[in-house]
Amino acid sequence: MEKITQAFSSCLLNSTNDHLNKRLREAPPPPKRTNFCTRRKGGKEKEMRFQRSLAFVFPRTRNRFQSQASRYFSSLLESEQRSSFGIAFDIDGVILRGRDPIGGSPQAVRRLYEDSGNLNVPFLFLTNGGGVPESKRANELSEHLGVKIMPSQVLQGHSPFKSLSKRYENQLIIAAGKGEPAVVMSEYGFKKVVSIDEYASLFENIDPLSEYKKWTTNQVLDRSVHPMNTVLCDVLRCGGLPGQENGHQPPLYFASDDLEYQAAFPSNRLGMGAFRIALESVFNSVHHNPLEHVSFGKPNPIVFKNAEAMLRQLQLSYYSNNSKESGDSGLQSFKTLYMIGDNPSVDIKGARQAGHPWFSILTRTGVFRGKHNHAEFPADMVVDTVEEAVDYILERECVS
């Protein structure tokens, strides 16, 4: 279940749990977090801390984004036609396979920039992956593609969690998954975030595999035997304090729900949806009430609404910064938004559900390898590569 590791789920615990909160308050601050995966030592309770210092990052990013967007989209003022469409790229199986660019993706993306380096076409990356802050993913994409990608052009599976930060700002958050999920949640504005490893380390004997980890020095191997399902079931069944009476299930959010995805390995890898199925099956077998959860990521229509809103925000920023000089205060709505993806049940289904102005393009470089269109979720267009998709779009939109 490799994709468990690519995105992450989080569950929110009731902050009114006095016993747990007291335990957390009394815990002394540990050293600076350098790694998401913490190790148990002797089965004793460990120190833990909250990443309060990162809570201010999101609003600062917004201001920086507005000024960057203004510069990048200055060229759009010159052509109303060019501002009437935008593009959303999936990443895994379309732009990258593992860490390697595929399908002529560097050449395709570079065609969306002018020689000066300014964007010629508004576009962003819409992925169900994640585990790192959007700024970090933008830097990685910039290196792979050879162009400057802004953090605001990266929407990951967990990006919608930002909208929950006000509601759960002071609630305890347990973040699980690959990468730096606790750091990501802290950057979104949540003030009390712990990784599932940090949380589990507070409770002696909660990890039935802990004795087998003592000889383990390889971190990857260590994580592969982590009983995430066991600990999550404990948390979900007891209302936040494992080992106590059953309580109300805390809210549970998944960053995505795709069953499989294309990575570096030739066969498709199981995704967050596979983990959700496993967790749900186990939980429903040991608990009298079915598991309650919310899944973000494609094909959830909210994700496509967010992508359209982000592209529109770029337009709005551009217009508001240039209308004083041009006298043009109008904002042209998108005639077409192109979704380029490799997974019919995620990318294409999502675009179809979102409806106008979305137009779906299916590539053959990832999950889908069929000769003809997909039977259950047919795309508006099927192409071999992302480069072919961009060629089609630019020709259709009369952009040279």
Q: Which residues bind Mg ion (CB under 5 A)?
A: 90, 92-93, 342-343, 366
Residue 137 burial (CB count, 10 A): 23
The C-alpha angle with vertex 270 and arms to 168 and 343, in degrees rounded to 5, equals 90
Strand 100-101 and strand 381-382: the pairing is unpaired
Query: Which residues does residue 125 pair with via DSSP β-bridges, in sequence order?
Result: 89, 154
Q: Which is nearer to Mg ion, 342 or 388 (CB)?
A: 342
H/E stretch holding 8 reads strand 8-13
- Residue 2 Cβ, how far from Mg ion at the closest point, in Å? 13
Return the DSSP state at 119: B
**Please, what is the minimum distance in Å from the beta carbon of residue 126 to Mg ion?**
10
CB of 268 to Mg ion, least distance (A): 10
The least distance separating Mg ion from the CB of residue 367, rounded to whole angstroms, comes to 6
Torsional class of 355: left (φ above 0), alpha (ψ -120 to 50), beta (otherwise) = left
State the minimum distance, in angstroms, from the CB of residue 128 to Mg ion.
7
Query: Is the CB of residue 269 less than 8 Å from the CB of residue 2?
Result: yes
Residues 113/119, Cβ–Cβ less than 8 Å: yes
- In the complex, the smallest distance separating the C-beta of residue 228 from Mg ion, rounded to whole angstroms, is 23
| Coil, helix or strand at residue 252 | strand
198 or 257: CB nearest Mg ion: 257
- Nearest CB to Mg ion, comparing residues 228 and 307: 307
Of residues 38 and 343, the one with the C-beta less far from Mg ion? 343
Instruction: Give the residue from 260, 190, 210, 145 showing the smallest Cα distance to 13.
Output: 190
CA dihedral 385, 387, 391, 393 (to 10 degrees): 70
For Mg ion, the closer CB: 164 or 362: 362
β-strands 294-295, 252-254: how paired? parallel
Distance in angstroms between the alpha carbons of the first and the last residue of the chain: 43
159 CB burial (10 A radius; 0-12, 13-18, 19+): buried
Q: How far is the CB of 337 from Mg ion (least distance, A)?
A: 18
Least Å distance, CB 262 to Mg ion, is: 6
Q: Which residue is nearest to Mg ion (CB)?
A: 93
Nearer to Mg ion, 171 or 343 (CB): 343
CA distance 156 to 298: 10
Nearer to Mg ion, 134 or 342 (CB): 342
CB nearer to Mg ion: pick between 93 and 250: 93
